[in-house]
A and B are shown apart, each in its own frame.
Chain A
Amino acid sequence: MSSVAATADSAGHDHDHGHHAHVDDHLALLKAVPFWSTDHKVIGIQFLLTTLVMMMVGGALALGVRWQLAFPWENMPIIGAFFPASAGGQVTPEFYTMLFTMHATVMIFLVIIPVLAGAFGNFLIPLMIGADDMAFPLLNALSFWVMLPAIFFFGMSFVWNDGWGPNAGPGAGWTSYPALSAIKAAAPGSGWAQFWWLMGVTCVGFSSMMGSINYMTTIINMRAPGMTLLRMPLTIWGMFITAVLQAFALPVLTAAGFMLVADRTLGTCFFIPSGLVVNNAAPTVGGGQTLLWQHLFWFYSHPAVYIMVLPAMGMVSDMLACMSRKPIFGYKPMVYSLAAIAGLGFIVWGHHMFISGMNPALGMTFMISTIMIALPSAVKVFNWIGTIWGGKPEFNVIFLNCVAFVSMFIVGGLSGIFMAAVPVDIYIHDTYFIVAHFHYVLFGSTLFAVFGAIHFWYPKMFGRFMSEGWGKLHFFLTFIGFNGTFFPMHLLGVAGMPRRYADPYLYPYLEHLLPLNQFMTVSAAVMGFAQFILIGNFIFSLFSSRKAGRNPWNANGLEWHAPSPPGHGNFDIPAVVYRGPYEYSSPEHDSDYWPQAEVPKPVVEHESETTPKIAPA
């Protein structure tokens, strides 16, 4: 770990010899990917590739769910042959519960959290604050490698459940409420599969924790000279606040996970009340309380929702400002609202439990705190719109994805108000309205931000552009498929269709929803196959697309001060920060961008205000 002053020196000079050999070799980073490396950029790319693969896996699981809802009990075509337990590939109810459980698990724990914090956090934080690496490079590498046992454990839960079998799998949902998850006899997937699942979650927790410690330390200690807190790009603010959230909330989930494992293996009874008769077995011993799990679980998993969106909000702010050639509208309110969302995020977990039987007085307090979260979210939306206002946007893939982020976040944010209002939540809780809401926030917002971010920082990662045409096609199909899949879910929810039903058409009042479900499944398939375009574009652009210089988007951030791709140690010219990251179209400057590290001209009158105390080496 280097001190701030040392960073500026060593970043440029100590590693200089290595740089020039690497700068022209755009595949240098990729070549290093499969191997052990403690370089934050390699780890970031390792995370990115892993999460992209996992996104395809999670999407495939979702398509299984959608297949069953559109064509209940019909054999899955083609891939059905891989499920010999159910003749012809029928989605049995056991398999169905496993499909949605693992879809959520994979998407949350192996895609969204690691793609934001792991991939972009790792790649961007040192570059954007002007550090040569993370504070703890070894810990950083471990945070990636601990993901692999997690993937292994989740994989085991697919195939090993009291014996090998294609229909194994945890079936308690990603929330894993006891007693379903605590008592082995409670469900076909409550045996070993549940145990593997818990191990996987614990490993992911370790990974996040290592990242979180690293990010906090790096951001606090290793900023380049002149990079004050209020000159940090919003991406860094998003990552920083996320890291703080993780550091405080995650231990609670890990502890709860250990308690559940103890309940299952050591005979403790944290979560199992006495006297239950499960699956005709004798009454359980107990004295525990299942609500305890819900409190502990949501104490982490609600803040986790913000862990899954705050970095995306930061990245979108940076991209929108750059693409609109305008300073971010209201930088300080943006920072404060990030902090407010995180702060409120800690006192709203109970809104997942309005109808769980907890004290109704808590329902009221949680309702107020939850509804108030809409306030900083609204401030952010207004500021994003204000950022484009009067701008000169370039309608490229990045900008389109960012606008989609804002547009979809509005839908997801507004639908959140419905479930924050407790009486309305009585009805829509556990219906598809909830599913619609969180897909709008997590896919509609976060993933569009990630798609934009991939296109935006790809030149920095590999020194080449991604294809614009394919990118737009991917965006177009994804956006249409996304809205076709998830918007009708609001209507299903209002119609009272419960979540996690293998066959809702068993109920007469839901029968007429079948055609709508079929439409949604077709949309989901379109969206799913559109992701192959992204993957293809990602891979082929490595070899065949235009080369990018240091600063292909004429952006201001420090990361564009480094070569593309940056060599080991990041900066060949020491980075010193003279101004905030959003000085676009400034009348005081000739070009419409003004990089943070550009040395001010001596004639500029306001220089004394902006010159940092520490002079460049």
Chain B
Amino acid sequence: MKWFWCLFFAFWPTLTVALCLASPGLGWWFPGEAASPLGQRIDDLFYLILIICTIAFIGTQAGLAYVLFRGAYDTEPEAVTKKAWHSHGSHELEVIWSVIPAIVLLFIAFYQMDVWAEYRVKSAFPRDKMETALKRVNQKRTTKDSLALAEVTARQFEWLIRYPGFNDDGTLKPLMKDPQPTDLYAVNDLHLPASAPVMINLRTMDVQHSFFLPELRIKQDAVPGLTIPIWLEANKQQTYQLLCAELCGWGHYKMKARFVAESDENFIEYLRQLEREQNEDRVDDEPEPSDE
């Protein structure tokens, strides 16, 4: 029976590793390649930790399996009269297996700093690239104005999106902190230029929510009372999923929206369309029979 248990404990880690190797093929892995440069760096860090942890996992589980097999031999009838090894431990071993993990762990910690700083620390944001992107969509702003191109406000259970409106000369206004009469609004539909870092301001109107773009590996809580800047950069012109990741009430699961990354022209055209829809009072409309 003891051999059965030895095999039992050796079998599970093996199965685990096998399952993880098979998972990407079975679709139980990341939802596609990271769709943003920062997301790709997050994935790289994930794989780095995965490799280190896999080595540690296999090492420790193999060590455990070895001592179990050894122990099983030592309880065979011919070895029964012998006492177990009387050892209170080894100072050298303790030092070795403290120092090596410590070095590895500190390496992991410090190696991650850059990506984190770039994601969240304002002074490390790719400012220049953002300014270029804003110039491309023809936004007229002073250095004091926000770099954000949209404000995303979470509420139970939808995402309200506020864009700046247009000046009379056709250029895009900067996004103001407070709502402006010319602002443009959309619900559950975030459009932004692709292939450039763009910033949005994240707020919530009621409880805590979390802005989650799984394909871009971006997540940020929307905290009552705070306006949090986040920047993102979609690699491709494509529609991505936008979810809420922080429990926000019974309808948490259905806070579904989309994020459309598109060309600069399409983005401006989308804003123009929003403007037309919002300013349309339909007073002068000819009655269209087919519409009714």
Contact = CB atoms under 8 A, between A and B. Distances in A.
A360 B121 contact: yes
Nearest to A288: B225
A446 B217 CA distance: 32
Contacts of A93: 250-254
Contact of A494 (B29, B70, B155, B250): B29
B120 A582 contact: no
Contact of B49 (A188, A275, A424, A500): A424
Interface string A270-290: 001111111100000010111
Contacts of B12: 407, 479, 483
Q: Pick from A324, A357, A492 the residue with the most CB of B within 10 Å.
A: A357
Interface stretch (A10-18, A58-66, A198-206, A386-394): A386-394
A492 B117 CA distance: 27
Contact of A418 (B49, B225, B250): B49
B20 to A, nearest CB: 8
A12 to B, nearest CB: 31
B23 A587 contact: no
A296 B208 CA distance: 17
B30 interface: yes
A378 B101 contact: yes
Contact of A331 (B1, B89, B228, B254): B89
A301 to B, nearest CB: 15
B3 to A, nearest CB: 9
Contact of B206 (A279, A381, A407, A504): A279
Interface in B141-183: 155-156
B256 A507 contact: yes
A487 B106 CA distance: 27
Interface in A239-288: 272-279, 286, 288
A35 to B, nearest CB: 41
Interface residues of B, number: 100
Interface string B27-54: 1111100000001011001100110110
Contact of A97 (B29, B87, B88, B249): B249
Interface residues of A, number: 119
Contacts of B29: 491, 494-495
B137 interface: no
Interface stretch (A369-377, A532-540, A555-563, A596-604): A369-377
B71 A324 contact: yes
Interface string B226-250: 1010000000000001011111111
Nearest to B114: A423
Given A330-B88, A582-B88, A277 B219 contact: no
A422 interface: yes
Contact of B108 (A277, A383, A410, A417): A417
26 contacts: A97-B252, A180-B249, A187-B250, A279-B156, A326-B87, A356-B223, A360-B121, A367-B109, A367-B112, A367-B116, A378-B98, A379-B98, A385-B63, A388-B71, A389-B67, A389-B70, A390-B67, A395-B5, A410-B60, A418-B49, A427-B42, A427-B219, A496-B30, A500-B252, A504-B253, A507-B243
Interface of B: 1-2, 5, 8-9, 12-13, 16, 19-20, 23, 27-31, 39, 41-42, 45-46, 49-50, 52-53, 56-57, 60-61, 63-64, 67-68, 70-72, 74-75, 79, 83-90, 93-94, 97-98, 101-102, 105-106, 108-109, 112-113, 115-117, 119-121, 155-156, 205-208, 210, 212, 214-215, 217-226, 228, 241, 243-254, 256
